[in-house]
Amino acid sequence: MKSVSTFALSLALLTSAPAAVVNGNFASPLSTGWTTLGDVSIQSGAAFLTTSTVLDQDDPPAPAGTFNFSAAPAVETGIPGGPEEFAGLATGDLDPEPGAGNFAFEGSVMKQTFNVPAGEFLTFDWQILTNDDANDDYAFITINGVLTVLGTQAVATTGSTPFARESVTSTFSRGFPSAGPVTLAFGIVDTGDFNTTSALRVDNVALVPEPSATILATLLAAGLLVRRRRL
């Protein structure tokens, strides 16, 4: 009986514990709430991850490091402590088509762990910027070690500065039916080659109530207000 009570108490504490993404709008330095690997920085109020090194000429004829924004190089995949392990993946999980010789070469990742109440949604805005024409570099997230591809550089079709192309800004949303801890990682990787730089821009990372619950709460509040006025 004691173990059941202890379990119920632990579950109640987990469910009622404050659940929030720390520094999801990147108003503070990345060291507040986030851990990073590779070229990760804050640019124009958003997190910015690239596949650029520092000393190599990734984007000729541009000088080496032109598209690196943190002075930390992107990190080789497939090594201990590399992007896969950092994002909670197994070695090789970032290779798009290893059987066809299409491998991931290097990348950058950022992550954070937080508690999610049951029924809440994770949302964030994302955008891909690139100098690559091969349509193979891609941006991704992992949630508790499960990989989801956000998009490849093929979605970047509009001219940009300083990158050659950028995508429109899209919003990602994912619901959580059960409460619990979540480790969220964002990443960008070079695949096929490492001759050009691609980047992922992330902003407005937040947990929000289930949309239907929000609407219901609004309607209930409006109904209570009308009732009070009638009284």
- pLDDT category, 20, cuts 50, 70, 90? confident
- Percent of the chain past pLDDT 70, that is, above it, reads 82
| 7 contact partners, CB below 8 Å, separation of at least 6 | none
**Burial tier of 218 (Cβ tally within 10 Å: 0-12, 13-18, 19+):** exposed
Residue 129 has pLDDT above 50, yes or no: yes
The least confident of 14-23, 70-79, 190-199, 205-214 is: 14-23
| pLDDT tens digits for range 135-153 | 689 999 999 999 999 999 9
Residue 167 has pLDDT above 70, yes or no: yes
- pLDDT category, 57, cuts 50, 70, 90? confident
Q: What are phi and psi of 194, to 5 degrees?
A: -130, 35
At 5 the pLDDT is: 42
- pLDDT category, 52, cuts 50, 70, 90? very high
At 151 the pLDDT is: 95
Amino acid letter, residue 175: G
- pLDDT category, 19, cuts 50, 70, 90? low
Distance CA 197, CA 66 (A): 10
Distance CA 109, CA 75 (A): 9
At 211 the pLDDT is: 63
At 192 the pLDDT is: 84
| pLDDT tens digits for range 95-114 | 988 887 789 999 999 999 99
Distance CA 21, CA 35 (A): 13
The answer, as to whether pTM is greater than 0.95, is: no
- pLDDT category, 10, cuts 50, 70, 90? very low
Q: What is the arithmetic mean of pLDDT over 71-86?
A: 96
| pLDDT tens digits for range 210-226 | 765 444 444 345 444 43
**Burial tier of 64 (Cβ tally within 10 Å: 0-12, 13-18, 19+):** middle
Q: What is the arithmetic mean of pLDDT over 76-89?
A: 96
Structure tokens at 100: 């066809």
DSSP string, 61-72: TSPTTTT-SSS-
- Percent of the chain past pLDDT 90, that is, above it, reads 71
